């Protein structure tokens, strides 16, 4: 099901790239765009996760470097019945996180410095469990491929503003349409896969960590702090915003077009309903016995 969705998205994005190519250069431009789209598809399937991590400035953490954070991720992955993903740290003070990878065997979880510094141990566990839920649901391939291709399409639209269209009379108008249409069309595809996906990852993540209220608290904190902290790598690559647990963008330029997440209040309400209901839950993650670093605030 996940791979089928990716193939549909790739086909839709390919058609959009060909339309942009036709606007730029007629039939010849459409054929060139088809070749470009084919290359984008192959690249996105195999390398989009690495590209997104590189764009965000992610640094991989070894078990020694990750310490308790690595151990916590490993325990949550065990509970989720998943292989241990690669763990990355993002050098930004905005608290946030995302998961990427084409399958559970080739996956990664990335958390920001701000998340580790601002949240308690239980809240961090909830966030990591949410990201592991995306991996278990095989959302990450769809998310990462779409983010990579949407970013490329948006860039093509912006380039057409400067290069013009395929004739002198309609070139300027076509370029303006391309600049507007490309990111909007890519955004529509992202919106179609984002909102329900987040609710499902919240529910599964709460079950993995055993504490729905901790994930709800983490979402509230991240939403509040993210709105006050600029995430420069995310602002430079807004097409990847849908991958984060909370929208990392602060409304620069046309960034609100990439706000695909459901309302945080709705997500918190659903988690608190889980917390108060009769649904079976896994026991909370036991503490490591250490009280230093971010864990001391739990």
Condensed to tens digits (0 to 9), the pLDDT of residues 119-162 reads 999 999 999 999 999 999 988 877 777 766 666 666 666 666 55
Q: Is residue 9 part of a domain?
A: yes
Domain-located, residue 295:
no
DSSP SS3 for 169: coil
97 DSSP β-pair partners? 111
In a domain, 249, yes or no: yes
State the pLDDT confidence band at 44, using cuts at 50, 70 and 90. low
Q: Is 74 contained in some domain?
A: yes
pTM: 0.76
Across 210-229, average pLDDT:
94
The answer to whether residue 222 sits within a structural domain is yes
Q: What is the pLDDT of residues 1-12, one digit of tens each?
A: 455 666 666 677
279: three-class secondary structure by DSSP: coil
The answer to whether residue 296 sits within a structural domain is: no
Verify whether residue 265 is a known catalytic residue.
no
101's enclosing H/E stretch is: strand 97-103
pLDDT of 268 above 90: yes
Average pLDDT, the chain: 79
Q: H or E segment at 225? A: helix 212-226
Full domain range(s) for residue 7: 2-284
Which residue is listed with tokens 């945080």? 264
- What integer pLDDT is reported at residue 157 of this predicted model? 62
pLDDT at position 188 over 90: no
How many independent structural domains does the chain possess?
Answer: 1
Closest CA to 202 of 277, 154, 143, 133: 133
pLDDT over 90 at 61, yes or no: yes
> 140 in helix, strand or coil?
helix
Indicate if the pLDDT at residue 282 is higher than 70. Answer: no
pLDDT given at position 110: 97
In the block, tokens 């909830």 appear at: 126
- The confidence score (pLDDT) of residue 191 equals 60
Percent of the chain having pLDDT more than 90? 42
Alpha-carbon distance of 246 to 209, in angstroms, equals 19
pLDDT at residue 185 in the model: 60
Do 78 and 56 form a contact (C-beta atoms < 8 A)?
no
Question: Is residue 211 within 8 Å of 224, Cβ to Cβ?
Answer: no
Mean of the pLDDT values across residues 26-51? 72
Q: Which residues face 244 on adjacent strands? A: 98
Set 75, 93, 131, 265: catalytic member: 131
Lowest mean pLDDT among 124-128, 145-149, 214-218, 275-279: 275-279
Give the C-alpha separation, 120 to 142, whole Å.
Answer: 30
The answer to whether position 23 is within a domain reads yes
pLDDT tens for 81-122 read 999 999 999 999 999 999 998 889 999 999 999 999 999 999
| Model pLDDT, residue 150 | 67
Question: Is residue 294 in a domain?
Answer: no
Residue 6: what pLDDT?
61
Residues 6 or more apart whose CB falls under 8 angstroms from that of 280 comprise none
Mean pLDDT, range 17-35, rounded to an integer: 72
Q: How many CB atoms lie within 10 A of CB 233?
A: 19
Q: What is the pLDDT of residue 35?
A: 74
- Distance (Å, whole) CA 139 – CA 147: 12
Q: Which of 60-69, 136-145, 181-190 has the lowest mean pLDDT?
A: 181-190
């Amino acid at each position: 099901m996940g791979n089928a969705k990716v193939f549909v998205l790739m086909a839709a994005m390919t058609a959009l790239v060909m339309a942009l190519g036709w606007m730029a250069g007629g039939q010849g431009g459409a054929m060139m765009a088809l070749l470009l789209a084919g290359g984008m598809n192959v690249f996105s399937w195999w390398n989009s996760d690495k590209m997104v991590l590189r764009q965000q400035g992610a640094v991989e953490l070894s078990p020694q470097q990750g310490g308790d954070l690595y151990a916590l991720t490993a325990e949550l992955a065990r509970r989720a019945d998943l292989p241990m993903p690669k763990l990355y740290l993002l050098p930004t003070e905005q608290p946030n996180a995302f998961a990427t990878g084409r399958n559970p065997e080739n996956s990664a979880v990335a958390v920001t410095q701000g998340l580790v510094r601002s949240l308690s141990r239980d809240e961090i566990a909830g966030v990591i469990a949410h990201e592991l839920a995306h991996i278990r649901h095989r959302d990450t391939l769809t998310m990462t491929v779409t983010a990579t291709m949407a970013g490329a399409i948006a860039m093509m639209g912006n380039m057409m503003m400067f290069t013009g269209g395929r004739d002198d009379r309609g070139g300027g108008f076509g370029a303006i349409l391309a600049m507007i249409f490309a990111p909007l069309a890519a955004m529509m595809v992202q919106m179609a896969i984002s909102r329900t996906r987040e609710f499902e990852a919240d529910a599964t993540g709460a079950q993995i960590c055993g504490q729905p209220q901790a994930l709800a608290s983490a979402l509230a904190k991240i939403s509040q702090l993210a709105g006050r902290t600029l995430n420069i790598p995310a602002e430079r690559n807004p097409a990847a915003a849908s991958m984060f647990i909370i929208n990392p963008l602060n409304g620069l330029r046309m960034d609100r077009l990439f706000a695909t997440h459901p309302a945080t209040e709705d997500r918190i309400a659903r988690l608190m309903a889980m917390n108060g209901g009769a649904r079976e839950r896994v026991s909370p993650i036991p503490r490591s016995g250490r009280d230093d670093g971010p864990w001391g605030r739990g």
